[in-house]
Amino acid sequence: PSNTPHQHKADKAILTVSPEEFMSGWINFATDELHYDGQYFGLPTSTDTRAMYVNMDLATEAGIDPALLDPKNGPMTYDQLWEINDSFNVQDERGTYERVTWIPWDDQAKLIMWAMAADVRFFDNSTGHMLLDSPEMLAVATMYARWIEKLDFPRMDAFKATYQPPNAPPTQTSFFSDRQLFQITNPGAVRSLADYKPDMNYGVTYLPVPADGDDPFSWSGGFALSMPKGSSMSKPAWELMKFYAGYEGQKILMPPLTGIPTNLETIADPEGWDPRIEFFVELLDVTRSRPPLPVGTKLWDAMETMQGSLTQASDTPENLVKEAQHYVDPTMQQFVPFSLPEGFGDKDPNLKLPQG
């Protein structure tokens, strides 16, 4: 190291940057999930958002109003989606599906997403309890159960097994085979479309929302780097982590991966991500995330179990929300008192999307 006054000043500046100031270089919801008990445990590398892909040729053939599919006009409502569903779906004389509009549990469409769409809260800061048996969650679970009944899960499951069987090659999906009008998934699908269905005329629009006038929304997960405690390579590993998760590293990695950066500087740089996923990057402005709880894995498992049981109609929504609460809340009580980060769920004030 240099002994110049300038170098000493730089070293001191590096040492005196607070963790909060340092971590403010990444989008809030990503750093929230890496924070517990006053400490950060990693650096966020990438994220995603969810949207609805549209087979535009099928939409034109069905006479669907293009304005309804244009994100400039905002999201369509559940009622509008079901109206399309009832006119677009094709079943043979035995009731077997030959063509479908959408599948509310397929790919990235999940019960937890529909709960987020309804602004369901998963945890109460004031009481320290989970809210998986709240009236709001029950309403979403009941709605989802009605959807399953309406679509007739065994027949829809047979449809998927026919056109997208387990372990099928990536070229074989119900969406790629022009059998499915809408597909809810993430930005990585643009790469799959380019690789496996390059001739598809497709568009991307917002996820459907409960009611007319509701704001657009999406939801995000992501990945991070962390270091085992006591690593003998802590310093070089930290340097690698800073580069990998920082502006330069994400700018190198995100475009070929069709991933969305978490580093704010990389997000703001149009060269920091594949231009084909611009709409998904813009969704960072309205996206939501799972609450950063120390029982996050149990919450996810509970929601997945509830979704599976509702999809199979193996139990009632009333019983299932209670089971989910009983599964997660006792574990959460081991961490109480606990509060979600200040500003969780709010738009990141430091997020700047590329202009134009």
Give the pLDDT of residue 217.
95
User: Along the chain (356 residues), what's the average pLDDT of each consecutive run of 10 residues?
Assistant: 43 67 94 91 96 97 94 96 95 94 95 96 95 98 97 95 90 94 96 95 97 95 90 88 97 97 97 97 96 96 97 96 98 94 88 82
Give the predicted TM-score (pTM) of the model: 0.92
Which residues are registered as beta bridge partners of 220? 289
Give the pLDDT of residue 10.
43
Give the pLDDT of residue 356.
57
Domains belonging to the chain, first-starting first, are 51-219+293-332 (3.40.190.10)
